Structure 1
């Protein structure tokens, strides 16, 4: 039997009978019948061996606290909740064996049947001890052989909503709306990439592809949005953006770049400024400064009237001054003649020190103003001093 990473044993779930070489838990013991001094393996044992590749699932991204017992208990419990037990809710645990590689934070979970293993594939992205884990087929999975052993796809009637997953998506990363995100700088973290992608809305599924040996990013990812109507908008807005020495390639995973429909153009324009600021946040080497740039706080129409403008300035001084001493508040106004004016819609805050600006960023970023979520990023001090209001 193939062993992974030089391991010489398979972790047993506490409470189960110890493994006998060539056997698995829940198997009948070898018969006492002898033939030429070799034990005869019963039909059940041979069946277990032949179906094992199709009954195991790979679970990646486990937290350090995970152990064989906790993984087995969790997946057996979840399978029962979603109705994934093919032998019925009172038939016992669907997990019969677990092997964990603690160093690389993954496990192989052996299910009781091929059908239950296929149902478990729907659990991709489920939260385990506060961490979303990946559920995949192991590398020794043979699709053509497995097709003769039982269903290879999850039952469409599984109650995935009971465990916080979106039904019918196999973890959210399948189907025509799956997006490929390539050209990602290797220094970006998963959280930073998600933050950029979620400018368009919450994600149903996200997977940053990593090297199995090193755990480092391979520079590309896949995602699916909860609202599938923003798929083309996100692809169009993000594709071609430069980040450091990289250029993003963002498209549907199974086809070329699609253009947004006419009715989506206003949404696309609305997020362009947000994307530019997210891009600024994700650039390497951009330190914390004394200056913050806020977006999604004011609109051009609100800045046209002098009295309204002064009210907004006073509100900004009062609210943003709670985090430290404000040296300057700059709110660019639209030109009366209608010509484009740089920075309209942004608010620039200069604090007396970096510490105050850092506190303000933490306190203001993500807050709701007028139904919109405010984005607060550090802004280069020299650009503010030179009157440059485009990031």
Structure 2
């Protein structure tokens, strides 16, 4: 759209109407969560905006604008680009396996000179879009139980295997659970679901013993008995639980968390920022934050529910599921209810890649809301 087009009354009025369809209360709650993250990053840095709080706010501001821009796009454009985005993400994951940059023992990034790219983040959006587009054209019978299930199985399995190879257990789990949830929402037969759960339960022990890397296996075993190595592999989980428990009902006070301020709490700005918040604001602070997350999830799922197109429903639900899994996995990891797998708390933790992924997902959710009455077809006229 050109600048002159924006000045024409019809185009300008259409843009204003679309902006009016955005869920601005949803946007406000996102701002509150990101603001809470900035306050915590300011606190654990010793009451300093650097090195975390100021960049966190700047990134959120840019990502917020990106979300609004993406919400203005016609939903049929997202539909047309679904498979290409997935394909590009898959090719980039293959490129990572071949020539990716190794950092801290993991090969997860592509160094493009200007920017370091983590293709697994692209795949989180690409997988949601690809599965939503696939099921958009499928009948209820095929979605329940048929040979067509091999297609979504391949769409999910290929990136999961490539991400596991990097290795990145947390992202692989997110991709597998997100993909599985979309398949279930699309109408998968309960017989298949029960069989898959049983097969997964049987496969977990050999997976842990023979497939996972040594450090990943230690994390899983440490989850079962963190006290077995309190100064080694169990250190993260134990310090997190100490911070959580020491906060009590109302916390020690803003800026007074000893575990985070004295650097006993590892990765306090990313993976364990929720534990730092619990130490300073206690149970009340944790519940308040979780209520904000619950509000975001509820409003996003409501958007998926009111969408007229199957593609819109599944894509909005898929993006929401990804966000929900971030919250659940990080919360469980922080409380010692799940192994430490390096999944941050979205919008609260410091980090640009996860924030970009989450806000692009919410741009898709808001696009579904703005275009909730748009009928998406699978033919050549799907784009315009």
TM-score for the superposition, normalised by structure 2: 0.23
TM value normalised by structure 1: 0.23
Q: Which has the higher contact order (CA 8 A, sep 6+)?
A: 2
Q: Which has the higher helix share?
A: 2
Which structure has the highest strand share of the two? 1
